[in-house]
Amino acid sequence: MTQPASVRREPLIPFYRKLTGNERGRDELLQILRDAEGILSFTGNVKSSHGVISAVVLTGISLAQTPAPLPSRLVGTIASIKPDLSDADVKPDTAPAVTVHFVESTIAQRVAPGEKDLKNAEPIQLSDVAAGDRVLVVLAEGSSDVRRIVIMSAKDIAKQHELDRLDWSRRGVSGVVTAKIANEVTLRMRGLSGDAQTIVTVTPQTRFRRYAPDSVKFADARPSSLSEVKLGDQVRARGEKSADALRINADDFVFGTFLTKAGTIMSIDPAAKEIIIASLPGKTPLAIKITPDSQLKLMPDLPMGPPGNLPNGPPPGGGPRPMMDLSQMLEHMPSATLDDLKTGQTIVVSSTKGNRGDEVTAIMLLANAGMLIQMASAHSNQVTNSPVMGAGMSGTSSGLGGFELPGMTP
């Protein structure tokens, strides 16, 4: 009895894949087989299995060798550009690099970072385009020729980032959520010299963003809302502060669930960009992955007296003791690399709460942090039952007496 066509085709799929390297889906491969049988039907050779296979192989090779058509638009980064400005390699955000060709009619324009309307693009020369620039490339139909290229200069982006960072430092606050009532969020700000709290007021105009698990980039935080903010979340808010800096009306509110881990380095794998530490308090092995977006800082050697000598209470003359802003302190610390880390060294690392308990991706890593751990632990013994902290509150840290290393660094 003659088998149905669908049954005859099924055994050919693995053979086809192996011979051509084509990993298309089952339904798509079956369609290719049907097309091949159609060719054979036209030639009168439909009953020959060898003929079917030959046609399938020829069809598959043809498809494999046919390049995928270029999209009409590319959004990404200039990976390289030829000195003669004849072409450039553009790396789209979610695809391999593509070579595009500049022609005499190519229109080149530039927009400022943050600009949302291309009507405000200004004309430039192709010689102004440089590697690292963000680009929108419009291609001629069915071609790699560039009709229009709009750039956002890498230098302009760097300048804007620095201005934005300074604005966050000047108009921002950071802390851990201890209360959320209506449109007010209370933050605990804990530094080396004491605790304080600030109240963040949000409005319908406040822009909310939230870190996703295993995310390390401040700029990649996704849109969110006040309803997603939880007790224990770490927050950076930016807006207009009151004169005493104890209240702020937030324009921007960025938050996430972060972990602060501390321990001594057991091993360093520069090739894999991974550190293994004996994490506190139980010396459990913990893998710390370093990415290009992770920030590494080196804490300078500073003299320290006995833990009992830490300042406590108001300073002479009364009034509140000035807070040491740890986020600002970290910004001014020297940057470090994996080469600066040594086995046996004490580190503190902040990360988002990922999917694995034995591995984290570093957002901020502070090396040579032994003194920080001593000071935080000693200070915790003084303030654990204070009105600001509340009895037994320890946040999301481990082995640091409730001390949180900032996880958000714009």
Identity of the residue numbered 363: I
Residues 200-249 pLDDT 10s? 999 999 999 998 766 667 777 889 999 999 998 889 999 999 988 889 99
Q: What are 343-395's pLDDT values in tens digits?
A: 999 898 888 766 677 888 888 898 888 877 776 665 555 444 333 323 222 33
Digit-coded pLDDT (tens) for 11-30: 554 554 544 455 555 555 55
Q: Go through 108-146 and write b for each residue having 16 or more CB atoms within 10 A of its CB, e for each that does not.
A: bbbbebeeeeeeebeebeeeebeeebbbbbebbeeeeeb
- Over residues 395-399, the mean pLDDT reads 43
Q: What is the DSSP letter of 5?
A: H
Give the pTM.
0.59
Q: Between residues 275 and 94, which one has the greater pLDDT?
A: 275
Model confidence at 43: pLDDT above 50: no
Answer yes or no: is pLDDT of 139 > 90: yes
- Which of these, 359, 403, 357, lies nearest to 380 by C-alpha position? 403
Average pLDDT over the chain, rounded to whole?
76
Q: Does residue 71 have a pLDDT over 70? A: yes
Per-residue pLDDT band for 78 (boundaries 50, 70, 90) equals very high
Of 156, 93, 162, 134, the closest CA to residue 410 belongs to 162
Span 320-348, mean pLDDT?
75
In this predicted model, what pLDDT tens digit does every residue of 56-70 receive, in sequence order?
555 555 555 555 677
Does the pLDDT at position 164 exceed 60?
yes
By the 10 Å C-beta count (0-12 exposed, 13-18 middle, 19+ buried), 391 is classed as exposed
Residue with tokens 């960072």: 165
Q: How far apart are CA 164 and CA 160, in angstroms?
A: 6
Give the chain's radius of gyration (CA, Å).
29
With 0-12 / 13-18 / 19 or more C-beta atoms within 10 angstroms meaning exposed / middle / buried, residue 194 is buried
